[in-house]
Chains A and B, each alone.
Chain A
Amino acid sequence: MSATQIDGANGANGQVLQCWSCQGPVSLGLSFCPTCQAIQSPRQTEIFAQLGLEPTFDLDFSQLEKNYFSLQRTFHPDSFAAKSPQEQEYSLQHATNLNDALKTLKSPVLRAEYLLQFHGAAVAGGPEKTVNDEAVLVEAMETREALAEAEIPADIESILTRAGDGIRDCTTGLSAAFADGDLTAAAALTLRLTYLVKLNDEAVQRARIFSRGT
């Protein structure tokens, strides 16, 4: 059977689609046909909703993980290994979406960028990667230089501390900015956080090289 969608139905109210397997009606929010239980192609593109959460910067991570595991139990291709190719394909799409949504939600930078887009704000340093916040720019250049010149582990330690403090400040600030709906502040903090996380990663990398002595 072909996976047809009734255009009229879709256009008429956008709520009812046709099940590819039993050809019956399936309301938009459902991942399994209520009649024949066949898995449907993923329709939810909003990633907080994909993981059963409200869109917020202050995530309940244990709830996120709980929902993720329970959804993967339902959708993972391992549960469809003995099913038809169409069902395997849809399960793969669902599981892929869940993994990619989890990745975005777990990272403060990606989560903040996603929320900015979700609320219709432009992401600073987005595709064009232009940094127009002078303070951030200067801070970034200085710490980069310090990292490049670091000669003893203690130098890196102090950069790591600085990055860690900055990341904490940013996330605290972001949670307040999103709560107040201040997207301009959120965008600026997201930009600073992006560079701090990158700095932190590079410093960790350097520290690892130092500790190995190569």
Chain B
Amino acid sequence: MTKPCNVPASFPEALEAGRIPMAPLQIHEPGKTPLPHAEDQVAVGVDLGTTNTLIAVARNGRPEILRDRDGQALLPSLVAYTDQGILVGKPARQALLDDPHTVVASVKRLMGRGAENIRAVAGSLPYDIEPTDENAGDRMVRLRVGGRSLTPVEISAEILRAVAARAEASLGHKVNRAVITVPAHFDDAARAATKDAAKLAKIEVLRLVNEPTAAALAYGLEKGAEGVYAVYDFGGGTFDISVLRLQMGVFQVLATGGDAQLGGDDIDHVIAEHFMQERIASLGVSTLTAGEARMALMSARLAKECLTTEVTGNWSLDAGGEQSSHDLDRPTLDRLIGPMVERTIDHCRDVMAEAGVTPKEIQGVVLVGGSTRVPLVAQRVAEFFDTEPLVDINPDEVVALGAALQAEALTVGSDQLLLDVTPLSLGIETMGGLVEKVVRRNTPVPTAQYQEFTTYQDGQTALMIHVLQGERELVDQNRSLAQFELSGIPPMTAGAARVRVTFMVDADGLLTVRAEESTTGIQQEVAVKPSYGLDDKAMAAMLRASLENAEGDMAARLLRESKVEAERIALAVDAALIADGDLLSDDERAVIDGFLIDLRSAVVADDRDTVEASAAAINDGTSEFAQRRMDRGISEALTGVALSQLSDTVDSGAKT
């Protein structure tokens, strides 16, 4: 015997089924209720890029980039820590020339990273790295800049503050909620670091959205794109390739691939290395200071940009008081960067196979990111997909525009649906340094997957859970995210314990791990605080240091949360009164109406204590009413007018 189909009945269907009398009350669809006072504070979309950062806002489905006073859309992702204060963007670029050791560039590449991940240029680091303190709570890399010791999270927060200020100037109100985009291939540590940076900048992250997905959203909504699309996103520091199906407002990521450490910066490195080799050949070996290394990278970048339109050019390097001159033409550049571009094409091939589509089935290829301006890149993409790539929307702006559209959707509501996947496999370490995958890459998120593990020694009472991210077989080849211990397992023979490890990935792509021993029910849950992340203590200290009015902000936030909750309670009581008001005498009804009036005036009065007291009062004051409603519901169910039958009726109604 099978049960009738069980499509959940949402409220409007219940309404049609006549369950709820119509009333002169504004009734919202589930999930569509706007926040109180949300309309005066629009949420923004931020493309926090390696090279440039953009901020955009969407109103009534029309996204728009917010520009600075000079009309510039791009804010260079440069932060200078000078004696005069902190400079972000163009002013920091000037400081890069005057006093390069005070400036940090491409900080995004260091998000969630340890010191060992930072690449050297010809033996010289472009950053001064603080020695790592093994005993410190966090192992995130720290940079020494302008006499300060800073984490990438703090530096990114400065960039976010700068774009938020730009948006506030342009919109005329506070900006404190945003969708922030991240490379699809950002791992858990980098995503968590991005959220921490937003927290420091006093911005609530509504959602982390993958950059290629945001770009697809912009194309789908702005250009009406439908079908299977590839998004080739080659930015300043990362490469992503995503294959999506766009149909009737659903944006479904079929597969994504890429490399979080491959971008325009690497092209600059290759060119800088080439210049350095020429220089060494003519002037002999010399070591560069951090500042000189950065200047060399800047010359390399200028050469790259120039060669997008020109076929040849000449650049000079200045270091240790000696100048060298370097010619570069496009064929040489193509030869230098060829292997890198082929790596991106290899990723494209793999992702197409993962997605189960052939290049022929691809409706269009969207180009995103500044590095797609390199002629060889555009040419190879066109060859591989056998179609002229789309650049209808500016590749620099498309991600921010998509983020703004999603920010509006999350706050105001919309019909679009983004279904994304986890870019990298997640697993745990097993015996012999092997990785057992628990969540495979390209699994749609949110997801919860589990695997059972057991003890390998008699009497073993604890199990070390080592969480890893990546595709390789061996622990050492993957990225270590976190380690924790499940203890208190009763002594048993080896292999008798049953430890179920559940990986939960939320819509931001962030991981929570739960471990449970099933014979005893001992359970441990950890929000994965990445090994390279900041611990809570460090985060708290930074918040204190950075927020002059931290207390005021916290209070404002708590008030807002209380008001959201109070609003929900008031609406719930309204609905209950409409449905079951006949269970109350006139006097009882008047009392509850009084509570409602108190609650609503408390919300308007903006005082958190009053709001909470009123909410508590109405909870108490309606408990008898709730009991009567339950009694009626149960007796109806027992006396044949069964709610279950009603729900079946509603369900079959929902099916058609």
Binding site for B on A (CB under 8 A): 1, 6, 9, 12-13, 15-16, 18-19, 21-39, 44, 46, 49-50, 52-55, 67, 69, 71-84, 87, 91-92, 95-96, 99-100, 102-103, 127, 204, 208, 212
Contacts of B507 on A, CB cut-off 8 Å? 76-78, 92, 95
Is there an interface contact between A29 and B576, defined as CB atoms closer than 8 Å? no
Is A22 a contact partner of B419 (Cβ separation < 8 A)? no
The smallest C-beta distance from B404 to any residue of chain A, in angstroms, reads 15
A residues less than 8 Å from B38 (CB atoms): 82
Whole-angstrom distance between the alpha carbons of A53 and B648 in the complex?
A: 14
Contact of A91 among B31, B419, B504 (CB under 8 A): B31
Task: Determine the chain A residues whose CB is within 8 A of the CB of B230 once the complex forms.
Answer: none
**Min distance, Cβ B542 to any Cβ of chain A, angstroms:** 24
Interface-central residue, B449, B579, B651, B655, by most chain A CB under 10 Å: B579
Q: Which of B2, B571, B632 contacts A25 (CB 8 A)?
A: B632
Cβ contact within 8 Å between B6 and A78? no
Interface contacts (Cβ under 8 Å), in number, total: 214
| B446 and A99 within 8 A (CB) | yes
Q: Is the CB of B580 within 8 A of A24?
A: yes
B223 located at the interface, meaning its Cβ lies under 8 Å from any Cβ of chain A in the complex: no
9 interchain residue pairs of minimum CB distance: A25-B633, A23-B626, A79-B31, A31-B8, A27-B643, A22-B572, A81-B410, A36-B575, A52-B7
Contacting chain A: which of B272-280, B562-570, B591-599? B562-570
Contact A82 B643 (CB under 8 A): no
Per the bound structure, the CA–CA distance linking A47 and B3 in Å amounts to: 12
Known: A24-B579, A36-B572, A71-B8. A83 touches B655 (CB 8 A): no
Contact with A along B635-656 (1 / 0, CB 8 A): 0111000111011101100010
A-B contact pairs, 18 of them (CB 8 A): A1-B569, A13-B634, A21-B569, A24-B580, A25-B629, A27-B647, A32-B9, A34-B19, A38-B572, A39-B30, A39-B31, A49-B6, A52-B6, A54-B5, A76-B507, A77-B446, A96-B447, A127-B452
Q: Do B20 and A74 have beta carbons less than 8 Å apart?
A: no
Q: A95 contacts which chain B residues (CB < 8 A)?
A: 446, 507
Q: How far is the CB of A87 from chain B (nearest CB, A)?
A: 8
Q: How far is the CB of B493 from chain A (nearest CB, A)?
A: 17
Which residues of B579-630 have CB atoms within 8 Å of chain A's CB atoms? Answer: 579-580, 619, 622-623, 625-626, 629-630
Contacts of A24 in B (CB 8 A): 576, 579-580, 626, 629-630, 633
Instruction: Name the B residues within 8 Å of A36 (CB-CB).
Output: 571-572, 575-576
Contacting residue for B418 out of A21, A78, A80, CB 8 A: A78
A92 CA to B448 CA, complexed, in Å: 10
Docked Cα-Cα span, A32 to B647, in Å, equals: 11
Please, how many residues of chain B have a CB less than 8 angstroms from a CB on the other chain?
A: 83
Do A29 and B6 form a contact, CB below 8 Å, given A74-B30, A212-B346? yes
**C-alpha spacing A61/B653, complex, angstroms:** 21
| A99 contacts across to B, CB distance below 8 A | 443-447
Is B353 located at the chain interface by the 8 A CB criterion? yes
On chain A, the residues within 8 Å of B636 by CB distance are 25
Is the beta-carbon distance between A31 and B353 smaller than 8 angstroms?
Answer: no
Task: Looking at the assembled complex, report how far the CB atom of B565 sits from the nearest CB atom of chain A, in whole angstroms.
Answer: 6
Chain A CB within 8 A of B384 CB: no
Q: Apart from A31-B8, A73-B250, A99-B446, what are 14 other A-B pairs with CB-CB below 8 Å?
A: A27-B633, A27-B646, A30-B14, A30-B647, A31-B10, A46-B6, A52-B655, A55-B2, A76-B507, A79-B413, A83-B568, A92-B507, A212-B346, A212-B349
Task: Provide the bound-state CA to CA distance between A26 and B10, in Å.
Answer: 12
The answer to whether B565 touches A35, judged by C-beta atoms less than 8 angstroms apart, is no
Indicate which residue in B10, B418, B579 contacts A74 across the interface (CB closer than 8 Å). B10
Report the bound CA distance from A58 to B194 in whole Å.
Answer: 45
B573 within 8 A of A: yes
B527 at the interface (CB under 8 A from A): no
A22 proximity list for chain B (CB < 8 A): 572-573, 575-576, 626
Report how far A71 CA is from B446 CA in the complex, Å.
14
Minimum Cβ distance to chain B for residue A129 (Å): 12
Complex CA gap A67/B350 in Å reads 30
Partner of B633, one of A16, A87, A103: A16
What are the residues of chain A within 8 A of B637 when measuring CB–CB? 13, 15-16, 25, 27
The reply to whether A31 and B410 form a contact with Cβ atoms under 8 Å apart is no
The answer for the CA separation of A49 and B579 in the assembled complex, in Å, is: 29
Answer yes or no: B506 CB below 8 A from chain A CBs.
Answer: yes
The answer to whether B643 touches A23, judged by C-beta atoms less than 8 angstroms apart, is no
What's the nearest-Cβ distance from chain B to residue A133, in Å?
24
Contact A9 to B644, CB < 8 A, known contacts A49-B3, A81-B207, A92-B446: no
Give the residue name and chain of the B residue nearest to A99 (CB).
B444
Q: Which residues of A contact B410 (CB under 8 A)?
A: 78, 81-82
A34 engages B6 (CB within 8 Å): no
Assembled-state Cα–Cα distance A206/B445 (Å):
28
List the B residue with the shortest CB-CB distance to A23. Answer: B626
Least distance between B564 CB and chain A CB atoms (Å) = 6
Measured in the bound complex, the distance between the Cα atoms of B6 and A28 in whole Å is 11
- Name which residue of chain A comes closest to B410, CB basis: A81
- In the bound complex, CA of A39 to CA of B8 (Å): 10
Whole-angstrom distance between the alpha carbons of A197 and B209 in the complex? Answer: 33
